[in-house]
Structure 1
Amino acid sequence: MDLIASHPYIKVVRQVSSLQQTDTEEKRYMYIYNEKIVTKHREFPIDDVLDMSYRFVGKDSGMLYLHTLKGVYPYIVKTSPEDFVESFKELQNKRRYHT
Structure 2
Amino acid sequence: MEPLAIQEVLYIEQKIEWTEKFTVEHIESMKLFDDRIIVFDQEYYLTHIFDISYRQESCKMGFLYLHTSKGVRTYYIRKDPSSFIQAFKQQQS
TM over 0.5: yes
Q: Is the contact between residue 29 and residue 40 of structure 1 (CA under 8 Å) also seen in structure 2?
A: yes
Contact 1:11 1:26 in 2 (8 A): yes
Q: Is the 8 A contact 1:2 1:34 kept in 2?
A: no
SS at match of 2:5: strand
Counterpart Cα distance in 1 of 2:21 and 2:51: 36
Equivalent residues, number = 93
Distance in 2 separating the partners of 1:25 and 1:2: 26
Q: Which runs of 4+ in 1 moved over 6 A?
A: none
Q: Does 1:87 align with 2:81?
A: no
Unaligned segments of structure 1, at least 5 residues = 94-99
Q: Percent identity?
A: 27
Partners of 2:14 and 2:67 lie apart in 1 by 26
C-alpha separation in 2, matches of 1:33 and 1:71: 21
**Aligned equivalent of 2:57:** 57
Deviation of the 1:18 alpha carbon = 4.8
Q: Give the C-alpha shift of residue 2 in structure 1.
A: 4.2
TM superposition shift of 1:17: 3.5
What is the TM-score with the length of structure 2 in the denominator?
A: 0.92
Unpaired runs of 5+ residues, structure 2, are none
TM, length-normalised to structure 1: 0.87
Residues 1:24 and 2:8 aligned together: no
CA RMSD of aligned residues (A): 1.2
The 2-side partners of 1:42 and 1:79 are apart by: 21
1:41 is displaced (CA, Å) by 1.9
